[in-house]
Amino acid sequence: MPKHLMNGYTIFRATNHCLHAKYVSFVIFVVILGLAATPSIVTAGTDVDNFQPVTNEMLLSAQDDADTWLMYGRDYRSWRYSELTQITTENVKKLVPKWAFQIGTEFDKFECTPLVVNGVMIITTPYSSIYAVDARTGKELWRYNYPLQDGLAICCGMVNRGAAILGDKIFWTTLDAHLLALDVKTGTVLWDRVVGDSTNAESLTVAPLVVKDKVIVGISGAEYGIRGFIDAYYAETGEQAWRFYTVPSKDEPGGDTWAGDSWMTGGGSAWVTGSYDPELNLVYWGTGNPAPDWNGAVRRGDNLYTDCIVALDADTGKLQWHFQATPHDVWDWDGVAGSFKPYSTDYRELRCKNSAANSPMKPST
């Protein structure tokens, strides 16, 4: 999407409530500054057939590209920060509607962070649908409605937080715990992998994270007593590359922080997308509450690795270190929001200090 368009657009959501209808409509509005007309805003089009594949190099430098939004957190640091300056506190009042894209869906929360690349906006919705639209006009390019079965056990909303992209593939998760790869030009499903067991209340609401040749996702369902995990799949084939359990078994490091067999239903969801440090080749991911949420008497101990930031080797999924914000959480505080890459004027020194043996960030043993 051209820089002058990215500078001029802001996105917000509205819900059309209707007390007597089963369905409501989510409307995505795009508004543009009512400034001097720019001819290219009118004449530029989106030819999805000429879509340029997204490379690993583009993902590594995503923070430097003002024309795109290539991943959930904008860049691998997950800062979600844009240096665009055209919209200011002085001229924001001049924003006027440019287009609206209405999505008919059953009522629920809308939590997607859209991707924008090559003038195409990728939008995911509640109840597992995904759309590609022309970001300049709001014209629908394609849609895919995933066939969800009834009776799913989903905590906290039938939501989806977004998609990921590599090459000409869009990666996207569904509420019944599938990971799909779709053709960015057509929305055709290229592969479909079962990540979790939806009959055991395992679900996926997370936006995937692409790291090198892998797609990483975290499971949801701790409120129903699942055993949480973070998975990686090969982007080309969908085959599983590795799995890290956020709740260790008795014979694994950290397993002694769970009384009896409580680890088997210990929770530890991982529903917020992590971040990645390419220099250290580490993925940082936050984990949620232990299960059951408020009854700690049946799960004595610190309950690792719930309410943690875990640092995982991106190639193998092996734990390198962890930091637990709330040992033995009985307040449902979670720890999913802390998985961002830190910043320091001497970042190497910061990492060294944080991974020292006497640091609260504990190396894996």
Q: What is the 3-state secondary structure (H, E, C) of 156-181?
A: CCCCCCCCEEEECEEEEECCCCEEEE
Q: Which domain holds residue 316?
A: 212-365
Which stretch of 80-94, 204-218, 273-287, 330-344 has the lowest confidence by average pLDDT?
330-344
Share of the chain above pLDDT 90, in %: 69
Cα separation, 359 vs 345, in Å, equals: 20
My answer on whether 192 and 238 are in the same domain is no
My answer on whether 144 and 277 are in the same domain is no
Q: pLDDT at position 339, please? A: 52
Asked if residue 357 has pLDDT above 70, the reply is: no
* CA angle 334–358–307, rounded 5-degree value: 5
Sheet with 9-16, strands from edge to edge, namely: 9-16, 23-33, 95-106
189 beta partners: 182
Q: pLDDT at position 114, please? A: 96
Number of domains into which the chain is organized: 2
My answer on whether 195 and 339 are in the same domain is no
Token pair listed for 192: 């479909």
Confirm whether 108 is a catalytic residue: no
| CA distances (Å), origin 97, targets 66, 125, 288, 318 | 22, 21, 38, 48
With CA atoms as reference, report the closest residue to 290 among 322, 250, 317, 259.
Answer: 259
My answer on whether 10 and 155 are in the same domain is yes
My answer on whether 227 and 174 are in the same domain is no
Cα separation, 328 vs 289, in Å, equals: 9
Q: pLDDT at position 334, please? A: 85
Asked if residue 24 has pLDDT above 50, the reply is: no
- Extended strands (E) in the chain: 9-16, 23-33, 95-106, 115-117, 120-125, 129-134, 140-145, 164-166, 169-173, 178-183, 189-194, 209-211, 214-218, 229-234, 240-245, 275-277, 282-286, 308-313, 319-324, 362-363
CATH number at residue 264: 2.40.10.480
My answer on whether 293 and 152 are in the same domain is no
My answer on whether 266 and 322 are in the same domain is yes
With CA atoms as reference, report the closest residue to 296 among 283, 306, 309.
Answer: 306
DSSP string, 16-35: E--TT-SEEEEEEEEEEE--
pLDDT one-digit tens code per residue, 121-148? 999 999 999 999 999 999 999 999 999 9
- Strands 178-183 and 120-125: what pairing? unpaired
Q: What is the mean pLDDT of residues 106-135?
A: 91
CATH number at residue 194: 2.140.10.10
Domain C-terminal end among 207, 240, 272:
207
My answer on whether 151 and 18 are in the same domain is yes
Cis omega (within 30 of 0) for bond into 253? no
Selected residue with higher pLDDT from 353 and 316: 316
My answer on whether 242 and 181 are in the same domain is no
40, amino acid identity: S
Confidence of residue 26 (pLDDT cuts 50, 70, 90): low
pLDDT one-digit tens code per residue, 291-303? 999 999 999 999 9
The answer to whether the beta carbons of residues 112 and 162 sit under 8 Å apart is: yes
My answer on whether 219 and 198 are in the same domain is no
Cis omega (within 30 of 0) for bond into 131? no
Q: pLDDT at position 340, please? A: 59
Confidence of residue 84 (pLDDT cuts 50, 70, 90): confident
Q: pLDDT at position 93, please? A: 94
Q: What is the mean pLDDT of residues 242-260?
A: 97
Confidence of residue 33 (pLDDT cuts 50, 70, 90): low
134 beta partners: 120
Distant-in-sequence, close-in-space partners of 364: CB < 8 Å, separation ≥ 6: 253, 318, 319, 320, 321, 322
Asked if residue 173 has pLDDT above 70, the reply is: yes
Cα separation, 68 vs 78, in Å, equals: 15
My answer on whether 336 and 220 are in the same domain is yes
Cα separation, 137 vs 93, in Å, equals: 22
User: Among residues 168, 183, 197, 332, which one is catalytic?
Assistant: 332
| CA distances (Å), origin 216, targets 60, 63, 315, 340 | 16, 20, 11, 15
Q: Where are the alpha helices (DSSP H) in 12-171?
A: 39-43, 56-60
Asked if residue 47 has pLDDT above 90, the reply is: no
pLDDT one-digit tens code per residue, 150-172? 889 998 889 999 999 999 999 99
My answer on whether 131 and 251 are in the same domain is no
Asked if residue 14 has pLDDT above 90, the reply is: no
Domain C-terminal end among 207, 231, 261:
207
pTM: 0.85
Q: pLDDT at position 16, please? A: 32
Domain C-terminal end among 160, 177, 207:
207
Which stretch of 79-93, 191-205, 258-272 has the lowest confidence by average pLDDT?
79-93
